[in-house]
């Protein structure tokens, strides 16, 4: 990553409070195009709240996000997805009773336009679009290694496959930024390695990644830059090596006594 | 249309076409067979069965596809029925043609669908059910009371002498002379209703297998995930309400013209629940199942009328008043189906798997797994 790399996402003093509790206070961060940006922090540090503010599920009480210099403030979640931010969820949220293929096809919704009349009359345009949606979805399933499971219901898939299906579905929206909420949670070493390879490949194919992860080894090995949240504040940002040596980070993770 | 057939039949193309041809022939001959075997009343019941298929398919879009529990569906049926009654009867002296009023009824009912949908967008499950139930009642009460100060709906007396459907300038209710054979009124309506029902099925199937249909199901499955995938849930939900309501509006117009009379009594909560039962009992979200549910629930109460004569022949006297027994047995039937087939009489293969994990599909796979392990 050269320092001059283009800015993709900028968070400016994002604040979110629930009652008196500040889930996020004045969090600012910058993500450059083509990097893998890690977001770490102890439980309850505000990582998922940040994701929710970013994707429009929460409305921040202060501050804003800008994607390619354009503000995302006030946009509904579907509009944020249209702008080019896709996400996965910490507790996998697939369309359980749809097949793997259908799940990914739903992801193409924002990038297709057939309306009611087109659907009923099945115009040549609608037909072509439907075929393109299906073909694109099949390609993405193959991309994450699920081509053989395309006809299985999402809920019948093993846990690791569900994680990968969620990523395929998010990729179907053609995101510029893919936000992954703990993609390797609950995975064994082999599965984690495969997930890591997948994330690297996604990045190499031109999608910027924002990643919440608890597996420190994974974050340190994979991310270009890392931000650390603690009690809703950003306490450190930098390359994994820089962050690892930061006393504030050690204190947040291990308690005050260890930092000395 | 292929999806209407069970999976085992789909492999052989010729068999598929033979099945369709047989089905088409049966549907064409049905009113004559029924007329000959069971009498004219039953052809009329058949007409109503088709009407309810249309209504149930409309409600299925809202409840089955989009997962929005709507207990006020009958309101749209009422809107369609009254629109036709008001604009084609001596009540105001207006006699607009049926073929104009049918699409108009669909459009106005669709508009009402959106009106109902708009304030309920944030509601789900029980809360949505209560609000829609209220909406259904509001419409009925309006119809009941809009006879003063200006008499629009003629209140509880209802509107009478509604124009019949005209085909080539002749009223369909008087029958149709086709030269080689003469169709009675109920027969002629059967063919009209059948055509419109087939059109409804076609539209429902096309919508289901489209980007729109997938978006509806996605909302049903997980609204948060759906919105994160870029689906504008507000518009897609309103579309579901509108499409469902349009089917209801068409059904209402047909009902009005067929009966020649409408009153608020036809549009009670019971009617909404009946249509919902057709959807649930048939197999929510599965079009063939919903059709089956609608037909079954229209025919069953009528068949149960034979309970009286049956008792007469079995015991030599009528032991229990048939009208008491009829609804009791009907209710019991519903309870039994829900106990033993909670997924409905003819669920989609996916949903059957959901509620019966030990179905042959899965257990066969488990056995194969075991076999692999033992090697």
Confidence at residue B10, expressed as pLDDT on a 0 to 100 scale: 60
What pLDDT, on a 0 to 100 scale, did the predictor assign at position B372? Answer: 40
By C-alpha distance, which of B298, B302, B296, B276 is closest to B346? B296
Among B275, B300, B325, give the residue marking a domain's end. Answer: B300
Per-residue confidence at B121, pLDDT binned at 50, 70, 90? Answer: confident
CB-CB contact of B140 with B78 (8 Å): yes
Q: B294: which 2 tokens?
A: 């609608």
Contacts of A78 in chain B (CB under 8 A): 227-233
Residue B95 shares a structural domain with residue B210: yes
How far is residue B246's CA from residue B97's CA, in Å, rounded to a whole number?
A: 19
Q: What is the pLDDT of residue A44?
A: 85
pLDDT in tens, A209-254: 999 988 888 888 899 999 999 999 999 999 998 998 888 888 887 7
Q: Which of B300, B333, B366 is the last residue of a domain?
A: B300
Partner residues linked to A15 by β-bridges: A62
Q: How far is CA B204 from the centre of its chain?
A: 12
A163 contact B CB<8A? no
Answer yes or no: do B80 and B223 share one domain.
yes
Residue A228 phi, psi (nearest 5)? -115, 125
| Contact A105/B at CB under 8 A | yes
Mean pLDDT on B223-227: 95
What's the mean per-residue pLDDT of chain A? 92
Could you tell me if B154 and B238 lie in one domain? yes
Residues B97, B238, single domain; the answer is yes
**Residue B188 included in any domain:** yes
CB contact under 8 A, B225 and A94: yes
Q: What is the ipTM of this complex?
A: 0.93
Mean pLDDT of B320-329: 79
Number of structural domains, chain B? 2
Decide if B131 is inside a domain: yes
Choice among B7-21, B290-304, B334-348 with the minimum mean pLDDT: B7-21
The Cα A64–Cα A87 span in angstroms is 18
**Shortest CA gap A231–chain B (Å):** 26
Rounded Cα distance, A28 and B306, in Å? 76
Q: Which helix (H) or strand (E) holds A116?
A: helix A116-121
Domain co-membership, B32 together with B45: no
Q: Considering all CA atoms of chain B, what is the largest pairwise distance in Å, rounded to the nearest integer? A: 85
Query: Is B118 in the same domain as B199?
Result: yes
A215 vs B260, residue with greater confidence: B260
How many other C-beta atoms lie within 10 A of the C-beta of residue B194? 18
| Residue A102 CA: distances (Å) to CA of A77, B67, B200, B273 | 21, 17, 24, 31
Single out the residue in B253, B282, B300 at which a domain terminates. Answer: B300
* B30 in a structural domain: yes
Give B66-94 pLDDT, tens digit per residue.
999 999 999 999 999 999 999 999 989 89
B204 found inside a domain: yes
At residue B11, the pLDDT reads 67
Instruction: Tell which of B228, B284, B343, B366 to mutate to test the A interface (max A CBs under 10 Å).
Output: B228
SS (H, E, C) B274-323: HHHHHHHHHHCCCHHHHHHHHHHHHHHHHHHHHHHHHHHHHHCCCCCCHH
Answer whether B283's CB lies under 8 Å from B356's CB.
no
Banded pLDDT at A163 (limits 50, 70, 90) = very high
pLDDT band at A1 (very low <50, low <70, confident <90, very high): very low
Provide the residue range defining the domain that includes B33.
9-38
CB B53 within 8 Å of CB B200: yes
User: Whole-structure pTM over 0.95, yes or no?
Assistant: no
* Mean pLDDT, range A109-116, rounded to an integer: 92
Q: Would you say residue B113 lies in a domain?
A: yes
**Residue A37 CB: number of other CB atoms within 10 A?**
22
A81 touches chain B (CB under 8 A): yes
Same-domain status, B28 and B44: no
Output the DSSP codes for B232-282: -HHHHHHHHHHHHHHHHHHHHHHHHHHHS-B-GGGG-HHHHHHHHHHHHHH
B160 interfacial to chain A (CB closer than 8 Å): no
For the CA atoms of A144, A149, A151, A157, the dihedral, rounded to the nearest 10 degrees, stands at -100
B106 and B244 in a single domain? The answer is: yes
Domain shared by B32 and B86, yes or no: no
Q: Which two tokens stand for residue A222?
A: 């994979």
Q: Is residue B329 part of a domain?
A: no
Q: Is A175 on the interface with B (CB under 8 A)?
A: no
Q: What percentage of chain A has pLDDT greater than the value 90?
A: 82
Q: Across the interface, do A76 and B227 touch by the CB < 8 Å criterion?
A: yes
Residues B98 and B199 in one domain: yes
For residues B131 and B161, state if they share a domain. Answer: yes
A145-149, A184-188, A224-228, B277-281: segment of lowest average pLDDT: A184-188
**B293 found inside a domain:** yes
Strand partners, A36: A209
Q: Looking at the domain assignment, is residue B214 inside a domain? A: yes
> Residue A96's CB: how many other CB atoms inside 10 A?
17
Instruction: State how far the Cα of B44 lies from the Cα of B193, in Å rounded to an integer.
Output: 11
Q: List the CATH number of the domain containing B273.
A: 1.10.3470
Average pLDDT for residues A72-89, to the nearest whole number? 95
B19 and B126 assigned to the same domain: no
Question: Looking at chain B, which runs of residues are DSSP E strands?
Answer: 88-89, 94-95, 166-167, 170-171, 176-177, 182-183
């Amino acid at each position: 990553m050269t320092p001059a790399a283009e800015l993709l996402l900028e968070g400016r003093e994002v604040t979110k409070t629930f009652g008196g509790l500040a889930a996020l206070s004045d969090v600012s961060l910058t993500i450059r195009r083509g990097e893998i940006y890690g977001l770490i922090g102890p439980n309850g540090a505000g990582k998922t709240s940040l994701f929710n503010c970013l994707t429009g599920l929460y409305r921040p009480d202060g501050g804003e996000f800008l994607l390619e210099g354009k503000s995302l403030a006030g946009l509904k979640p579907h509009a944020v997805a249209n702008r080019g931010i896709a996400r996965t969820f910490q507790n996998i949220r697939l369309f359980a009773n749809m097949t793997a293929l259908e799940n990914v096809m739903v992801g193409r919704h924002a990038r297709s336009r057939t309306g009611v009349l087109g659907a009923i009359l099945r115009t040549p345009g609608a037909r072509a679009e439907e075929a393109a949606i299906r073909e694109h979805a099949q390609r993405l399933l193959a991309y994450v290694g699920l081509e053989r499971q395309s006809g299985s219901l999402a809920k019948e898939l093993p846990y690791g496959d569900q994680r990968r299906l969620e990523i395929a579905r998010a990729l179907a929206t053609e995101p510029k930024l893919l936000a992954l909420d703990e993609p390797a949670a609950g995975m064994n070493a082999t599965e984690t390695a495969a997930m890591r390879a997948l994330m690297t490949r996604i990045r190499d194919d031109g999608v910027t990644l924002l990643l919440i992860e608890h597996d420190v080894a994974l974050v340190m090995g994979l991310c270009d830059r890392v931000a650390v949240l603690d009690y809703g504040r950003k306490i450190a940002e930098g390359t994994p090596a820089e962050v690892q040596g930061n006393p504030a980070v050690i204190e947040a993770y291990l308690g005050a006594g260890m930092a000395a | 249309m292929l999806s209407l057939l069970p999976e085992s039949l789909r492999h052989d193309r010729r068999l598929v076409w033979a099945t369709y041809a047989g089905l088409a022939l049966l549907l064409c001959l049905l009113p004559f067979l029924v007329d000959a075997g069971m009498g004219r009343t039953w052809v009329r019941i058949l007409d109503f069965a088709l009407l309810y298929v249309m209504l149930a398919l409309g409600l299925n879009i809202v409840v089955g596809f989009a997962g929005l529990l709507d207990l006020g569906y009958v309101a749209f049926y009422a809107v369609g029925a009254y629109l036709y009654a008001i604009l084609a009867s001596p009540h105001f002296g207006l006699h607009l043609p049926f073929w104009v009023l049918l699409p108009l009824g669909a459009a106005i009912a669709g508009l009402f669908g959106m009106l109902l949908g708009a304030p309920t967008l944030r509601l789900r499950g029980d809360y949505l059910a209560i609000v829609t139930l209220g909406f259904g009642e509001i419409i009925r009460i309006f119809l009941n009371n809009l006879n003063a100060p200006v008499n629009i709906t003629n209140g509880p007396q209802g509107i009478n002498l509604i124009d019949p459907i005209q085909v080539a300038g002749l009223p369909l209710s008087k029958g149709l002379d086709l030269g080689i054979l003469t169709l009675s009124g109920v027969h002629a309506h059967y063919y009209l209703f059948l055509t419109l029902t087939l059109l409804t099925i076609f539209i429902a199937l096309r919508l289901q297998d489209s980007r729109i249909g997938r978006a509806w199901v996605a909302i049903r499955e997980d609204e948060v995930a759906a919105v994160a995938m870029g689906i504008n849930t507000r518009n897609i939900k309103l579309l579901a309400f509108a499409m469902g309501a349009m089917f209801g509006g068409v059904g209402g117009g047909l009902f009005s013209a067929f009966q020649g009379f409408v009153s608020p009594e036809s549009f009670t909560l019971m009617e909404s629940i009946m249509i919902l039962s057709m959807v649930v009992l048939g197999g929510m979200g599965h079009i063939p199942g919903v059709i089956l549910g609608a037909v079954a629930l229209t025919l069953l109460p009528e068949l149960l009328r034979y309970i009286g004569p049956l008792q007469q022949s079995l015991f030599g006297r009528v032991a229990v008043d048939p009208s008491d027994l009829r609804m009791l047995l009907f209710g019991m039937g519903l309870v039994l189906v829900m106990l033993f087939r909670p997924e409905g009489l003819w669920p989609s293969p996916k949903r059957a798997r959901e509620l019966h994990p030990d179905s042959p599909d899965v257990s066969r796979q488990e056995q194969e797994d075991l076999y692999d392990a033992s090697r």
